[in-house]
């Protein structure tokens, strides 16, 4: 019997993985330019890390986490502490690591990024997986609006580096501990009057977390909350000023954005600036990247009151967009070596080795085959050039180099092959 992969978990095969590597390379390059350093955190954490940070009444914590009991728990430990969860997102783990290692004692301002798999038990569909991948960044230790804008510029530069100009930016402010409670009351009054139109899930949690109703994707809830009071109308003076500066900085740096007063994000830890980059080309799973400010999170996880701002983007959705525009497409080997006859094979084997050591991607035919079928294979692999050697050519001291795009063919002296092909690669 065949053993299959788990629903919502997928393999990333050669052919596709090159696009992933390219996306990761561009991310590393742009992160480095903004002075972000990589942090690698565990995939598994204590469940309470997520329930305390993301929030008990969020979709993620209520129903999407992969949680299990660790086997060798000691009887003295409480049940909660023995439960482990596959990380559904990266921010909680990064902040846990920052607090636990007391990184802030050396230097409170830390700019960190991560990449890797996340796990959420959602209904799998296009652009929505149970194991998916995020690239994310967190800037800890700065509460000023300039760093919010810096993060958005970084994202804008990154999407630009991928050649993705279509995703658009929406921003909102969620206020702070000063002004959000009052907004919460205003919203709650509004929602109570429309209770019957809300989905069961929202009805159940409006008293504890009314903002969730604005993030709900049920058509009934979207309709019922159309006229809901907007949080930006309830901001305190400090939050208003912060948000105005973020907008000014974005305008000055030519980053286009739209205000979306309904955007509250699915995680409870956000405050002030929140944002989402979305693409119309992705259907209903339109969010490519999302994030915001989370000033209370470090303290909630046992650290000092240190502010933070960050984002995460979905690599599956990014590569889907790249596939649609067919850029960053994987390329075949730079040279495919076609050989005819055993002597040619004996010559080709060490020659291929030398070329590979020069950094060229080289493949050679593995079996005795006709020239025609070897050429067909080179074509199928997308080789940029084919080097043809036969016993005849060997005797004459040269090989034929065929450019697969221009179909031009030239004879090259055997002694000059390495130099010629490396020069070709560099040009």
User: Contact region for ligand ATP (CB under 6 A) — 43-51, 227-235, 280-288, 379-387?
Assistant: 280-288
Q: Which is nearer to ligand ATP, 290 or 335 (CB)?
A: 290
Question: DSSP letters along 240-292, please?
Answer: HHHHHHHHHHHHHTT--EEE-TT---SSTT-EEEEEEEE-GGGTT--EEEEEE
Minimal distance in Å, beta carbon 211 to ligand ATP? Answer: 13
Fill in the per-residue mask, 304 to 323: x = in contact with ligand ATP (CB under 6 A), - = not in contact.
Answer: --------xxx-xx------
Q: Which is nearer to ligand ATP, 297 or 313 (CB)?
A: 313
What is residue 227's DSSP assignment? T
Whole-angstrom Cα distance, residue 24 to residue 20? 6
Using CB under 6 A, which of 20, 31, 36, 132 touches ligand ATP?
A: 132
Q: Which is nearer to ligand ATP, 270 or 339 (CB)?
A: 270
CB 152 within 8 A of CB 255: yes
Question: Of residues 76-105, which lie at the interface with ligand ATP (CB under 6 A)?
Answer: 89
Minimal distance in Å, beta carbon 373 to ligand ATP? Answer: 41
Q: Which is nearer to ligand ATP, 132 or 183 (CB)?
A: 132
**Cα 325 to Cα 27, 179, 281, 320, distances in angstroms:** 19, 44, 11, 9
User: Contact region for ligand ATP (CB under 6 A) — 20-28, 281-289, 326-334, 347-355?
Assistant: 281-289
Using CB under 6 A, which of 99, 235, 290, 383 touches ligand ATP?
A: 290
Which of 416-425's residues contact partners 24+ apart within 8 Å by CB, and which partners?
A: 417/351, 417/355, 417/387, 418/351, 418/354, 418/355, 418/358, 421/334, 421/335, 421/355, 421/358, 421/360, 421/385, 421/387, 422/355, 422/358, 422/359, 422/360, 424/334, 424/385, 425/334, 425/358, 425/359, 425/360
Using CB under 6 A, which of 10, 285, 361, 422 touches ligand ATP?
A: 285
Asked if 212 touches ligand ATP (CB under 6 A), the answer is: no
Q: Which is nearer to ligand ATP, 212 or 317 (CB)?
A: 317
Using CB under 6 A, which of 19, 26, 91, 134 touches ligand ATP?
A: 134
**Cα 40 to Cα 34, 97, 154, distances in angstroms:** 18, 10, 20
Q: Which is nearer to ligand ATP, 279 or 374 (CB)?
A: 279
CB 156 within 8 A of CB 255: yes
Closest by Cα among 215, 221, 222, 166 to 196:
221
Q: Which residue is nearest to ligand ATP (CB)?
A: 314
Asked if 120 touches ligand ATP (CB under 6 A), the answer is: yes
Using CB under 6 A, which of 151, 159, 289, 399 touches ligand ATP?
A: 289
Closest by Cα among 67, 69, 65 to 121:
65
What is residue 230's DSSP assignment? P
Give the interface size with ligand ATP as a residue count (CB under 6 A): 19
Using CB under 6 A, which of 266, 330, 332, 390 touches ligand ATP?
A: 266
* Footprint on this chain of ligand ATP (rule: CB under 6 A): 89, 120, 122, 127-129, 132, 134, 266, 285, 287-290, 312-314, 316-317
């Amino acid at each position: 019997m065949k053993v299959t992969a788990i629903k919502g978990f997928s393999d990333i095969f050669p052919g596709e993985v090159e696009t992933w590597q390219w996306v990761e390379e561009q991310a590393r390059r742009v992160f480095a330019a903004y002075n972000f350093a990589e942090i690698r955190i565990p995939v598994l954490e204590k469940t309470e890390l997520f329930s305390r940070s993301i929030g008990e009444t969020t979709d993620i914590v209520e129903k999407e986490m992969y949680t299990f009991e660790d086997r060798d728990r000691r009887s003295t430990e409480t049940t909660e502490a023995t439960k482990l969860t596959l990380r559904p997102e990266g921010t909680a783990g990064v902040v846990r690591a920052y607090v636990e290692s007391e990184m802030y004692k050396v230097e409170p301002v830390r700019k960190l990024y991560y990449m890797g798999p996340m796990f959420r038990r959602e209904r799998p569909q296009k652009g929505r997986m149970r194991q998916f991948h995020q690239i994310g960044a967190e800037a800890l230790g700065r509460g000023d609006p300039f760093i919010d804008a810096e993060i958005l510029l970084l994202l804008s530069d990154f999407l630009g580096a991928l050649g993705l100009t279509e995703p658009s930016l929406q921003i909102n402010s969620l206020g702070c501990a000063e002004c959000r409670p009052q907004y919460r009351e205003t919203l709650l009054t509004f929602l109570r009057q429309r209770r019957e139109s809300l989905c069961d899930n929202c009805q159940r949690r409006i008293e504890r977390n009314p903002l969730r109703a604005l993030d709900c994707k049920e058509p009934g809830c979207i309709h019922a909350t159309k006229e809901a009071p907007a949080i930006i109308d309830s901001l305190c003076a400090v939050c208003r000023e912060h948000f105005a500066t973020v907008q000014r900085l974005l305008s000055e740096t030519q980053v286009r954005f739209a205000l979306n007063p309904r955007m509250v994000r699915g995680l409870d830890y956000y405050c002030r600036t929140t944002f989402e980059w979305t693409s119309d080309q992705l259907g209903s799973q339109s969010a490519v990247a999302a994030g915001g400010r989370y000033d209370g999170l470090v303290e909630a996880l046992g650290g000092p009151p240190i502010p933070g701002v960050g984002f995460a983007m979905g690599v599956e959705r990014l590569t889907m967009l790249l596939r649609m525009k067919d850029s960053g497409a994987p390329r075949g080997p730079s040279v495919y070596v076609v050989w005819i006859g055993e002597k040619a094979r004996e010559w080709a084997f060490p020659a291929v080795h030398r070329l590979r050591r020069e950094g060229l991607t080289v493949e050679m035919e593995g079996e005795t085959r006709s020239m025609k079928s070897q050429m067909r294979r080179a074509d199928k692999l997308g080789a940029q050039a084919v080097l043809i050697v036969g016993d005849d050519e060997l005797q004459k001291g040269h090989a034929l180099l065929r450019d697969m795009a221009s179909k031009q063919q030239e004879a090259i002296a055997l002694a000059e092959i390495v130099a010629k092909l490396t020069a070709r690669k560099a040009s």
